[in-house]
Structure formats: structure tokens, C-alpha cells
Amino acid sequence: MFKAIVIDKDDSGYRATLKDVEDSALPPGDVTVRVAYSTINYKDGLALTGKSPVVRKFPLHAGIDFAGTVQASDDARFKVGDEVLLNGFGVGESHSGGLAQKARVKADWLLPLPAGLSARQAMAIGTAGYTAMLCVLALERHLVLPENGDVLVTGANGGVGSIAITLLAKLGYRVVASTGRLQEADFLKSLGAAEVIARDELSAPGKPLAKERWAGVVDSVGSHTLANACASTRYGGTVAACGLAQGMDFPGSVAPFIMRGITLCGIDSVMAPMPVRKAAWRRLAAELDLARLETLTREIPLGDAVQAGADILAGRIRGRVVVNVNA
């Protein structure tokens, strides 16, 4: 038997509970992994609380990420003892996931743990940090260079935002962090932000075109924040959109795209093809400041994961939370 956060839904309601479960509860898959660490992302918060219909199969073991060691494998690409990690592919949504001491998944979904990263560091990065790297790659692909001007990062205290700041600052960009928690300004500056602005500057309805401010944007918020970020992006700039914490709507105008030639890049971390994933994780292992990563990370035991899911939705978590599933 092993411990897992089990999400269930029936006539008595929706619930996420730490349980002891049998190995027979594991879903079909090519590789069984003894999980070492998982993490709490915004989507995990939605799944654990039921605030959004993220989970599509019941009962299900929660957790969209994990890192651990191969325990059994029917696929030649992985052997017993290999260290691996997983992000997305519907794990924690329609396939049991990583907030558990064991997981069984398709081999096609697994990545070897990148050299230079421990399992704990990989989960300190997690889907949030991997998504931040995908955003940085999108900016680079569209030739947003440090000398072009400021890069805005919204939702700066969250997982995507905090790691995006850390990455961009190390790469030489001048980063402006947008947050609803201005009391955390010193923390954001310690990660590399040159300037911190209030969320209110971007979160209310705005004009179709505003003063040009940003060469690039990493947005994890959506809704009015994304629309205003686009409206204030400089000519030829690029906005990488990867989240919807404020909402799924886009109450904006085509004006920035037509009159300023900006680009809006949608960033999908769940089903990104394996070559893209490998490139992102190689860059993370090579370029992320691991000392700074540690300063924005805290560790919790598996039994605290459900509460952490509620906390991340309520904005009570800054940076990253690593879940030690064996603690």
C-alpha cells in the first residue's frame, strides 16, 4: 500500500483526502515510479478544491507533477533505478498523478531527470517553472532581447511569475514585476525585479491602446490584465500568455496587433511536444539560479497538500511549494 491524495466526487460532494491505497488502484501504464517529490501549482489548487472542473475522472490521485525513481518498466527507454520527472499530459486531471508515493504512467510522458538537478529541485521548478521557461523561449524566438526594453511579469509572486523573474534577470533583462502584494516588493527585487508595480495598474478595464511600455510580457493572469498588457506593449513586442488567474476572457482590442505589430503567444505546458519539453528543461538545468530557487521554495509533507491547494488560490503562497510525499 501507499499514501495518496485521492480526489472523489459522488452524492456526498467533492473531496480531496489523504488515504492509504492499494497498488491495484494505480492506472494502466508502462512505467511505475516511486515518487520522491511533487509540488503545488495553481491548477493543483483548482483540482484539490474543486473550484474548477479540472479533474475529469473519479476517483483520482491528485498532482500534475512528480519526480522520482523508476520502480518497474515495460519500456526499454527506462530501467529500474532511473530518475525521472513528469509535467502535464493530463496527469492529475484524467490520469492519477504525483501527490502520491507511487505513480504509473505512459513512458511517452516521462523525461529523464536533467543532469544537475535533484528530484527536489525539479519539483521546486515544477510545471510553474517549466511554463516560465516556455514563456522565455517564446520571447527569445520573437527576438525580444534585453536591449529592447523592459519585460513585464504579471502575477509576480506566483510560481510562474517568481521563476520568470529569476530567469529573465539572469539573462540580462530589466524586469518589471506586477503584483497585488506590494508588501512583497523586497522579495521580488531579491529575485531580480528592477521595479515593482501594483496589480491595479493593469487589472481594471483599460483603453484599446495605451502608452508603450514593454518590449515583452510574461502573463499568467489573463482577462483585463492581459488586455492591458497587450495595449501597452511596444511596437513589435511579444506577449507570452500562460495563465488565467483573473479570468478566461480577453476584453481587449485588435488595435495593438494591427497598429503596433505585437505578437500574442499562447503557451501550453500540458501537451507541449517532447522536443520542446526537453529544450525547456535543458535550459532550466543550465541557467536557472538554483540558490535563488531555494529562497523562493518551501517544503511541506503530503498531508498538508490539500490546505496548500486552498492557499494558492487565495493568494497566500509566494513562490514555490515542494511536497515531500514521503514525509
Q: What is the mean pLDDT of the chain?
A: 96
Distance separating alpha carbons of residues 72 and 23, to the nearest angstrom:
13
Rounded average pLDDT over 102-122: 97
Residue 73 confidence (pLDDT): 98
Rounded average pLDDT over 193-198: 98
> 126-266 sits in which CATH class?
alpha beta
How buried is 82 (Cβ within 10 angstroms: 0-12 exposed, 13-18 middle, 19+ buried)?
middle
Residue 85 confidence (pLDDT): 98
How many CA atoms lie within 13 Å of 86's alpha carbon, on the beta-carbon side? 33
Tell me what percent of the residues of the chain surpass a pLDDT of 90: 98
239 beta partners: 217, 264
Percentages of the chain per state (helix, strand, coil), in multiples of 5: 35, 30, 35
Domain boundaries, the chain: 2-113+296-324, 126-266
- Locus of grid cell 513585464: 152
55 beta partners: none
What are 127's three cell numbers? Answer: 510545471
Q: In terms of CATH architecture, what is 2-113+296-324?
A: Alpha-Beta Complex (3.90)
Residue 311 confidence (pLDDT): 96
Distance separating alpha carbons of residues 287 and 184, to the nearest angstrom:
25
Residue 72 confidence (pLDDT): 98
User: 34 and 101 in contact (C-beta within 8 Å)?
Assistant: yes
Rounded average pLDDT over 317-326: 95
Residue 26 confidence (pLDDT): 97
Per-residue pLDDT band at 107 (split at 50, 70, 90): very high
Residue 156 confidence (pLDDT): 96
Per-residue pLDDT band at 193 (split at 50, 70, 90): very high
Residue 21 confidence (pLDDT): 97
| Helices 42-49 and 305-313, packing angle to 10 deg | 110
Neighbours of 54 (CB within 10 A): 20
Residue 205 confidence (pLDDT): 96
Residue 154 confidence (pLDDT): 98
What would the pLDDT profile of 123-174 be if each residue is shown by its tens digit? 999 999 999 999 999 999 999 999 999 999 999 999 999 999 999 999 999 9
Tell me what percent of the residues of the chain surpass a pLDDT of 70: 100
Residue 102 confidence (pLDDT): 98
What would the pLDDT profile of 8-40 be if each residue is shown by its tens digit? 999 989 999 999 999 999 999 999 999 999 999
Best CA proximity match to 223, nearest among 197, 253, 203: 203
Residue 292 confidence (pLDDT): 92
